[in-house]
Structure 1
Amino acid sequence: MVSKVYFMHARAMSLETSLAAKAVWLFEQGGLENCIDKGDSVAVKLHMGEYYNTSYLRPVLVRVIVDKIKALGGKPFVTDTTTLPYHEYVNRVTAKDYLYTAGMNGFSPQTMGCPIVIADGSIGTDDIRIDLPEGFILQEQYIAREIAEADALIALTHFKGHPIATIGGSIKNIGVGGASKRGKYNLHLGGHPTYGLQNSTFRPKLCKGLKCKKAIYCKNACPEGAITITEDTIEWNSLLCLGCTCHMLKTLSCGVFMIPDGYFEVTSAAIADSALACMKTKDKGKVGFINFAIDITPWCDCVPWADVPMIPNLGVCASLDPVAIDAMCVDMATEIAAIPNSQADEYGVGKAGDEKFQIGSSLMGISTEIQLKIGEKVGLGTRRYEKITIEPGDPEHFKPREVPLGEYMREFYKTDHPYPKGGFKRRKKVDLSLLQ
């Protein structure tokens, strides 16, 4: 089985080649229109960016898809879910926090032309349990209720690297982003008897206690109260640890906690399982994917910063298969040379032909292939794809108004023209040699 992935290059020199126009054109040419029936409730799933992150998808790229869905008779809502408290400065842990951050990043009902819904409720417990007997590791998953109950799902994804999952593509967008906070604890293996973070090797002798410059972060990190910072060291009650990842991310550099063997690999596999659970909430043919392979940073939009992109912008892709679309993006990223002085270049994987994300993005050098391989294994999709390059559409298809511009402005100019009746006061000639 081979899945079709439709593609348009990132370069733009006209209205019809802008990224926004390409998104609309690929939505149409790639068959995503067929996911929408008149009257459908349509979840437009994306990451609206963390507080102070600057690499998330621009709001206009979302708005044009929202408008297209409305033109088809669908009832779209822009959506994402609350996150785990994994970093001191994240501001999407509750629906209220997320809506504040989304507004700061340019996402509002006014800019989107539709409601913005945090799909798993106020703190992340509004969800639907999905049986997952075919899962590689997960046998159940919890999908955010508003996403699960929508008639159709369109996933708009900023393709980039990720510190835990290695890549952040369509699989992660619905696998992590479609899960409730409860589901995120599950896919991050919270409480798992073998791979759960409560099984971390604890080395308190490496901790400087309150003398450490980062002590305040560790002191305030754990929502379960499992961590205590003393004058000279750290105390940890592993029985209280539920796997929110806060202690892992804060102490990787100092070595106080050693993560259980297999944690990162199995978490990547669990993301694919979770994506399948999200897909199971929809009838066949009711989910479509668009990957924007632009601003391809080493880490995700989940962190409150954005590094220099690792590679030049690649383009926009559309498919009905999340595995195929991510596989093609990985292949395209491998084929191109990295941007000089980017993290991929700095880490020695900057040449054309180098796989960028395993070394340039993953905290622990985890394989880029895990999500793709497990996604294929559990029936989420296939890594085999046919790349179909699409030519731009007619510019008239994307015009902002029906009335031609000259005719449109002529009526305004009849009563209030900006050009003064006597013309402007200017020198008749200037010395052009001074402008050489």
Structure 2
Amino acid sequence: MSDPAVVHLVTTVERADPAELAEAGRRAFRAAGLGTRVRGLTAVKSHFGEEGGQGFLPPPVIRAVVDEVRSAGGTPFLTDTTTLYTGKRAQAVDYAALVHAHGFTFEAVGAPFVAADGLVGANETEVRIDGVHHRTVALAADALRAGSAVIVSHVTGHLACGLGATVKNLGMGLASRRGKLRQHSTLRPHVDPDACTACEQCLPNCPTGAIAPAKGRRGTPPPMAIDSARCSGCGECLASCRDDAIRFDWKAESRTLQESMAEHALGYCRRMAGRIGFLTFATHVTKDCDCMGKRQKPLCADIGVLAGTDPVAIDQAALDLVRRHAGRGLEAMSYPRLDGSFQLDHGERIGLGTRSYQLVKAAE
């Protein structure tokens, strides 16, 4: 049995403003000694928000990390990857413009944004892991070319994984388009015709055109249907359906997705061994991840910033702290049919990290 990982916690006041969050992040970075892991070109990997969304970490937080990286001798750059689904993050040019529109300008944060997977998600490197689901994983090439990385994550629920935090930010967030498709390959949504109102809200949100009115179905208009042969499994239809008419096998398919995600995270962490650190914000914890282009209410009181070098331990600590503060688990408050711990179970099993941790609370 492995020794417990040390997870540092810097608490924050309720509804802390951006400057207070930035200071908490700075303190957590220093408490965990993340500066010792900085080498040369340093990827500051975060989620910079979808168009219309407001839950992403604010620019002053990223500025604090950029400053700490530079103080440690690194050359920081902001990074993320493009998405499978339609929207302003589907290719690098629109995403860079969105990053700027959300306030992450060079003047504000002190570092440029570089899409780690290139213009359309094809800039990739295959990394061998010999995992349970994958022999190799396809990762964003420029994230691997960095000398070091600081992964800045935000704890939320997730419509397919139950938990969106450090492991997801790594595994999904640093996969190339091919890697994302592999992770979603078992996610096969289908339409419940009795629940579908034929509002067609899902149609423009499907990047592969897999959704169309069902043939041979009675009704005016007929319900929608999904062509499984064309479906990429991106899950955008699940997010866009307002009638809960699009379903998938929550237990079996979510588990495989989470385990695949953990294996992609493993590929990156192995390649960056000794040169990677994690800051995870358990503040403004919401039902859905920051990929959602909408304002969201928090599910529980703010907790603080977690920092360390073990992504599994940090996410386990985050789940435990949310349960302790809210009186019930994150999944129970967001997607009760899901179990977000599958990614942590598998992550521990394959060597990504440990669920056993020692929580060290920073002095006030």
* TM-score normalised per structure 2: 0.89
2:229 is matched with: 239
Match for residue 91 of structure 2 among 76, 91, 94: 94
2:210 is matched with: 226
Give secondary structure in 2 for the equivalent of 1:391: coil
Match for residue 294 of structure 1 among 263, 266, 283: 283
1:433 is matched with: none
Matched, 1:358 2:331: yes
Tell me the alpha carbon deviations over residues 138-180 of structure 1, each in whole angstroms, 9 at most, x when there is no partner: 3321111111111101011111222212111111111111112
Give, in angstroms, the shift of residue 94 of structure 1: 0.9
Letter in 2 for 1:358: E
Matched, 1:149 2:142: no
CA contact (8 A) 2:265 2:352 kept: yes
Give secondary structure in 1 for the equivalent of 2:76: strand
Tell me: CA distance 1:256–1:52, structure 2 relative to 1, closer, same or farther (3 Å): closer
Q: How many residues align?
A: 355
2:255 is matched with: 265
Give, in angstroms, the shift of residue 126 of structure 1: 0.8
Matched, 1:368 2:314: no
Give, in angstroms, the shift of residue 244 of structure 1: 2.8
Take 1:188 and 1:298, find their aligned partners in 2: how far apart are those partners? 21
Take 1:6 and 1:234, find their aligned partners in 2: how far apart are those partners? 48
User: Counterparts of 1:172-183 in structure 2 under 5 Å?
Assistant: 172-183=168-179
Take 1:105 and 1:21, find their aligned partners in 2: how far apart are those partners? 20
CA contact (8 A) 1:324 1:384 kept: yes
Matched, 1:336 2:325: yes
Letter in 2 for 1:187: Q
CA contact (8 A) 1:149 1:281 kept: no
1:108 is matched with: 105
Match for residue 165 of structure 1 among 161, 164, 168: 161
Tell me the alpha carbon deviations over residues 191-241 of structure 1, each in whole angstroms, 9 at most, x when there is no partner: xxxx352xx556657655xxx3x21x3333433333333753445443223
User: Counterparts of 1:186-335 in structure 2 under 5 Å?
Assistant: 186-189=182-185, 195-197=186-188, 207=196, 212=198, 214-215=199-200, 217-229=201-213, 231-234=221-224, 236-250=226-240, 253=243, 255=245, 258-259=248-249, 262-282=252-272, 284-335=273-324
CA contact (8 A) 1:201 1:260 kept: no
Give, in angstroms, the shift of residue 324 of structure 1: 0.7
Take 2:250 and 2:60, find their aligned partners in 1: how far apart are those partners? 42
Take 2:357 and 2:230, find their aligned partners in 1: how far apart are those partners? 45
Take 2:26 and 2:242, find their aligned partners in 1: how far apart are those partners? 42
Rg comparison, structure with higher value? 1
Aligned-residue sequence identity (percent) comes to: 29
Give secondary structure in 2 for the equivalent of 1:303: coil
Give secondary structure in 1 for the equivalent of 2:271: coil
Matched, 1:129 2:102: no
Give secondary structure in 2 for the equivalent of 1:49: coil
Give secondary structure in 2 for the equivalent of 1:63: helix
Tell me: CA distance 1:202–1:69, structure 2 relative to 1, closer, same or farther (3 Å): closer
Give secondary structure in 1 for the equivalent of 2:352: coil
CA contact (8 A) 1:46 1:156 kept: yes
Which 5+ residue runs of structure 2 have no aligned equivalent?
215-220
* Structure of higher RCO (CA pairs closer than 8 Å, 6+ residues apart): 2
Tell me: CA distance 1:207–1:172, structure 2 relative to 1, closer, same or farther (3 Å): closer
Tell me: CA distance 1:218–1:318, structure 2 relative to 1, closer, same or farther (3 Å): closer
Give, in angstroms, the shift of residue 251 of structure 1: 5.0
Match for residue 28 of structure 2 among 22, 26, 29: 26
* TM-score normalised per structure 1: 0.75
Take 1:229 and 1:385, find their aligned partners in 2: how far apart are those partners? 50
Take 2:190 and 2:155, find their aligned partners in 1: how far apart are those partners? 33
Take 1:314 and 1:298, find their aligned partners in 2: how far apart are those partners? 16
Alignment RMSD (CA, Å): 2.5
Matched, 1:118 2:108: no
Give, in angstroms, the shift of residue 11 of structure 1: 2.6
Give secondary structure in 2 for the equivalent of 1:171: helix
Take 1:377 and 1:257, find their aligned partners in 2: how far apart are those partners? 29
1:419 is matched with: none
